[in-house]
Structure 1
Amino acid sequence: MTEPSPGLTSGAVARRLGVAPTTLRSWDRRYGIGPTAHESGRHRRWAPGDIAVLQEMCRLTASGVPPAEAARAALAGAAPAAPTTEEVPAGRTAREPALGDVRRELRGLGRAAVRLDSEAMDELLESAVARHGLVAAWEEVMAPALHAVGRKWETSEDRYVEVEHLLSWHVSTALRRVGAAGSAGLPEAGTPPVLLACVPNEQHTLPLEALAAGLAELGLPTLMFGAAVPPEALDQAVRRTGPAAVVLWAQARSTAHHPLARHVADTSWGVRGARTRTTVLLAGPGWAGRTPAPGMLRPAGLREALSLLRELCTAGRGGEGPAVPVAGS
């Protein structure tokens, strides 16, 4: 006789649905949504029927139904089963993209964001970084989730704005945690900083925050100036700090400021006869379409940017520099 399936653990169910394990325990305690065959003293195991109730609970709360009402409906089977990734949920038009099916973590993060489940987002982001590393977590989970939420907002008559804002905040928080952990080791003495700035009129800072976190993991110092840095302020920062590199982020071609990038690449400092210039990294899709001028580089993504900056910082300490064109002194 075949033994019945033991079911899934709470952790496995939480990852599948994009909720925090503590949320599952709370729903069980408050609304009676728990494993039907839970034995005292043993690990909780969720059968397929239990998971179906949870899926319905998640779908209803994500659509704005209060948790108590959603729990009653889910337990009573009053609402249809939760849609698969191929179906279009109620209230969403067919043209709206689903919140991610690139990988399990991405799907879970998208569902948690739509539910405005802060605790689940924190746990999922921390887990993605721990399991896959910062670069993969950013490129395969965080950035696609942010893009998907942005697309939902654009195609749904300004709905989901609160989802985008909350997800952005939690991604930023996760990146800063990575940076804080990495910065525990002091950079080598004499290492010039990497200056990170958005061009004027550019408000998208999260890609620079991901880069700052990666540089912290490498033990490289950074100066983060954030969104919409005025040209005069950027010029003064370069002259005062003598950075190993300056990263300028432009999300769109309308914000890419080529004269500013050229000015920064041509800026020099130091005593006469030993003047120094920095390398400018043109980061973001806004710079696409032009060949970088001498003294400028355009990395394809976070991984390449980190590699280039590590080499440039090594050169700034007097080591062997990168085999790339850098403006002369």
Structure 2
Amino acid sequence: MGSRASAIDGTARAATVLPVGKVSELLGIPAVTLRTWEARYGLGPSGRTSGSHRRYTSADIKRLRRVQQLIARGVSAGDAARLSLGGDATTGHPAHRTQRLLEAAESLAVTELTDTLVECFLNWGAVETWTTLVSPAFRTLETRFGRTGDCTDIELVLAAAVTTSAERYLQLRKLSADKDRPILLVHSPAERHTLPLVVLRTALLERSRPVVVVGPDANERAVLQAIARTDPTTVVLWATIRRPGQLKLRNRVRETGSPFLLAGPGWPAAAAPIESLVAALEALTTPRHSTKF
């Protein structure tokens, strides 16, 4: 595989235009498949010789390689083609990637925004997408809101796009884990910041951990019923700020005897809540952690 990639890179540098047969040989893709991809998805050659014969350019070859990589991760050819035609969002300096993401959100380019995020999930996984792209984007918006207060709509569009793209990513990779006792992710009463649990669920499914999310509209009774019904390995109680009923819910969860973790800035510091995605994953996927507070 490494020698093939080296050959492709070397040939692409040496020649800016290549015929279909040569591209087929370099990439290991049958010529008939290349022609099918061109007809169905628009992944054809963009260069021309002096005699007006169409040829694949270095950029075309790079795009086809991305399609191959996405298909190898379980993405359908159609989705891989569409994502590859959207431009490579996973290259360049992190600050530039974040800026491109924010520009798409501000212009309400929802399709571009979602496709960019799906590709980042596919290339990096949930943890890196969150820590190097999404979280910095939200921090930028928080700073802007403190100065001008004019970006609530952008935050909502971005949050919705992250939620949609995470679900699409899970579907594309066919990631699910419904068997065995799950980890139960629970929002505290009236909690509206649901995105952290969306990303945590995605990261857990990447690790083949069964997980169930109890939505923010669930009342105390619904949460306790979910615990009784699923017998979870761990209950995660998420809160961004302190709200009425939060401590009561924690106490009721404790009474069930289920191991639980507190997560988010809405819990007292004395309770040592989990404060990052990486810390949550470590606590939930290693057997040595203490889960009762």
Q: Bin the TM-score by the shorter chain.
A: 0.5 to 0.7
Q: Percent identity?
A: 29
1:46-85 map, 5 Å: none
* Deviation of 1:211 (Å): 0.8
Structure 1, residues 131-179: CA drift from partner, whole Å, max 9, x if none?
A: 332101112211221333344345424x333322211111111111233
Q: For 1:255 and 1:147, locate their aligned partners in 2 and report how far apart those are by CA, in whole Å.
A: 27
Distance 1:44 1:179, change over 3 A: closer
- Deviations 1:201-225 (CA, angstroms, capped at 9, x unpaired): 2111110000111111111222111
Amino acid at match of 1:131: N
Distance 1:185 1:210, change over 3 A: closer
Normalising by the residue count of structure 2, what TM-score does the alignment of the two structures yield?
A: 0.62
Which residue of 283, 286, 292 corresponds with 1:308? 283
1:263 aligns with 252
Structure 2 gaps of 5+ residues are: 1-49, 60-92
Change beyond 3 A, Cα 1:186–1:131: closer
In the aligned structure 1, how far is the partner of 2:94 from the partner of 2:244?
29
Equivalent residue in structure 1 for 2:106, among 114, 128, 137: 114
Structure-2 residue corresponding to 1:170:
161
Which structure has the bigger radius of gyration? 1
* 1:205 equivalent in alignment to 2:194: yes
Helix, strand or coil: the match of 2:125?
A: helix
After superposition, the C-alpha distances for 1:40-66 in whole angstroms (9 at most, x for unaligned) are 857599xxxxxxxxxxxxxxxxxxxxx
C-alpha separation between the residues in 2 aligned to 1:135 and 1:167?
Answer: 17
User: Helix, strand or coil for the counterpart of 2:229?
Assistant: helix
Local SS of the residue matching 1:233: helix
User: Which residue, 269, 280, 284 being the options, matches 2:264?
Assistant: 284
Cα offset for 1:181? 4.4
Q: Which has the higher helix share?
A: 2
Closer/same/farther in 2, CA of residues 326 and 160 from structure 1, 3 Å limit: closer
- Residue in 1 aligned with 2:289? 324
Residue 152 in structure 1 maps to residue 150 in structure 2: no
Q: List runs of 5+ in structure 1 lacking aligned partners.
A: 1-38, 46-100, 268-276, 293-297, 312-321
TM-fit CA distance, 1:233: 1.5
Q: Distance in 2 between matches of 1:256 and 1:141?
A: 33
| 2:274 aligned to which of 274, 282, 299 | 299
TM-score by length of 1: 0.56
8 A contact 1:182–1:213 mirrored in 2: no
The SS at the match of 2:269 is coil
Deviations along 1:263-284, whole A, 9 cap, x unmatched?
Answer: 21221xxxxxxxxx32212111
SS of the residue 1:287 aligns to? coil
State the Cα deviation string for residues 198-256 of structure 1 (Å, max 9, x = none).
Answer: 10021111100001111111112221112143112111211222111111110123468
326 and 209 in structure 1: CA distance in 2 versus 1, 3 angstrom threshold: closer
Instruction: State the alpha-carbon separation in 2 of the partners of residues 211 and 182 from structure 1.
Output: 16
| Runs of 4+ deviating beyond 4 Å | 39-45
CA separation of 1:283 and 1:186: change in aligned 2, threshold 3 A: closer
1:103 aligns with 2:95: yes
- Call closer, same or farther: CA 1:282–1:309 in 2, change over 3 Å: same
Q: 1:74-94 CA distances to partner (integer Å, 9 max, x unpaired)?
A: xxxxxxxxxxxxxxxxxxxxx
Distance 1:44 1:163 in 2: 36
Which residue number corresponds to residue 10 of structure 1? Answer: none
RMSD of the alignment, in Å? 3.0
Q: Tell me which residue corresponds to 2:240.
A: 251
Partner of 1:224: helix, strand, or coil?
strand
* In structure 1, distance between residues paired with 2:224 and 2:232: 12
